[in-house]
Amino acid sequence: MTNQPIIGFLRTGIKSECIGCGACAQVCAHGALKMSEDLEGFRYPVLVEELCVNCGLCNKVCPEENDISKYHLRQKAFGGYAKDEGVRCMSTSGGAFSCIVDTWCKDNYVIFGATGNGIDVYHSHITDKAEIKRFRKSKYIQSKINDTYKDVRIFLKEGKNVLFSGTPCQIAGLRKYLELYRVDTSSLLTVEVVCEGVPSPLYVKKLDESLLRHYGGTISNLDYRFKDGKFDYIGRPFSPTRKGRWDFEVMRILLSNGKKLKKDRWFNPFWSIWLQHLMNRPSCYACPYATQKRVADVTLGDLWGVHIYCPELYGGNGGSSVIIANTLKGREALRAASIGMVGHEIEMDDVIRFQGPLRRCIPMNPQREAFMKDLEDRDISIEEINKKWANRPSLKLILSKYIWGNHQKVRLWNLKHKFSGK
Ligand SMILES: Cc1cc2nc3c(=O)[nH]c(=O)nc-3n(C[C@H](O)[C@H](O)[C@H](O)COP(=O)(O)OP(=O)(O)OC[C@H]3O[C@@H](n4cnc5c(N)ncnc54)[C@H](O)[C@@H]3O)c2cc1C
Distance from the CA of 93 to the center of ligand 1, in angstroms? Answer: 8
The protein residue with its alpha carbon nearest to ligand 1, atom 20, reads 301
Cβ neighbours, 10 Å, residue 273: 23
Shared domain check, 256 and 225: yes
Q: Do 193 and 102 belong together in one domain?
A: yes
128 in the same domain as 174: yes
Domain presence at residue 223: yes
The verdict on the CB of residue 223 being under 6 Å from ligand 1 is no
The answer on 113 and 211 residing in a single domain is no
- Say if 406 falls within a structural domain: no
Burial per residue of 192-206, b for 16 or more beta-carbon CB atoms within 10 angstroms, e otherwise: bbbbbbbbbbbbbbb
Q: What is the reported pLDDT for 6?
A: 79
The verdict on 104 and 152 lying in the same domain is yes
Q: CATH no. for residue 125?
A: 3.40.640
Note the pLDDT of residue 150: 98
Residue 402 forms part of a structural domain: no
- Is there a single domain that holds both residue 194 and residue 150? yes
Residue 245 neighbours by CB under 8 Å, 6+ apart: 227, 228, 229, 231, 232, 233, 317
The ligand 1 atom at the shortest distance from the C-alpha of residue 302 is 11
100 lines ligand 1 (CB under 6 A): no
Q: Where are the beta strands (DSSP E) in 194-314?
A: 219-226, 250-255, 260-264, 298-302
Is 194 close to ligand 1, i.e. is its CB under 6 Å away? yes
Q: What phi and psi, each to the nearest 5 degrees, are found at residue 98?
A: -65, -35
Task: Say whether both 82 and 45 belong to one domain.
Answer: no
418 CA → ligand 1 middle, Å? 35
CA-proximal residue: ligand 1, atom 5 (nearest): 195
Is 405 inside any structural domain?
no
Q: Is the CB of 132 under 6 A from ligand 1?
A: no
Residue 80 CA to ligand 1 center (angstroms) comes to: 16
- For residue 37, being part of any structural domain is answered with yes
The count of other CB atoms within 10 Å of the CB of residue 303 is 31
The answer to whether residues 346 and 305 touch, using CB atoms and an 8 Å cutoff, is no
pLDDT for res 50: 94
Please check whether residues 319 and 270 belong to one and the same domain: no
Domain that holds residue 243: 201-278+362-391
CB of 300 within 6 A of ligand 1: the answer is yes
pLDDT at position 209, please? 96
Q: Which atom of ligand 1 is nearest to the CA of 94?
A: 25
The pLDDT assigned to 229 comes to 58
Q: Tell me, what's the pLDDT at 243?
A: 47
Are residue 379 and residue 268 in the same domain, yes or no?
A: yes
Total domain count for the chain?
Answer: 3
Determine the pLDDT at residue 74: 77
d(CA 27, CA 224): 33
Asked, for residue 418, whether it belongs to a domain, the answer is no
Residue 312 DSSP class: G
92 Cα to the center of ligand 1, angstroms: 7
Ligand 1 pocket test, candidate residues 100, 169, 193, most atoms within 8 A of CB: 193
Are 118 and 92 members of one domain? yes
Residues in the chain predicted with pLDDT less than 50, given as ranges, are: 1, 231-243
Q: What is the 216 CA–ligand 1 centroid distance (Å)?
A: 31
Global pTM exceeds 0.85? yes
Mutate to test the pocket of ligand 1, among 97, 99, 131, 138 (most ligand atoms within 8 A of CB): 138
Give the Å distance between the CA of 227 and the centre of ligand 1: 15
Q: How far is CA 395 from the centre of its chain?
A: 29
Q: Which of ligand 1's atoms lies nearest the C-alpha of 142? A: 41
The answer to the question of residue 375 being in a domain is: yes
User: Which pLDDT does position 227 carry in this prediction?
Assistant: 84
What's 41's domain CATH number? 3.30.70.20
Ligand 1 centroid to Cα of residue 137, in Å, is 7
The pLDDT tens digits for 179-202 are 999 999 999 999 999 999 999 999
User: 138 C-alpha vs ligand 1 centroid, how far in Å?
Assistant: 4
Instruction: For residues 178 and 289, state if they share a domain.
Output: yes
* Ligand 1 neighbour 317 (Cβ under 6 A): no
Whether 332 maps to a domain, the answer reads yes
- DSSP 8-state code for residue 26: H
- Regarding whether 224 and 315 lie in a shared domain, the answer is no
The angle that helices 168-180 and 148-157 make with each other, rounded to 10 degrees, is 50
Q: Answer whether 138 contacts ligand 1 (Cβ < 6 A).
A: yes
- Quote the pLDDT of residue 422: 58
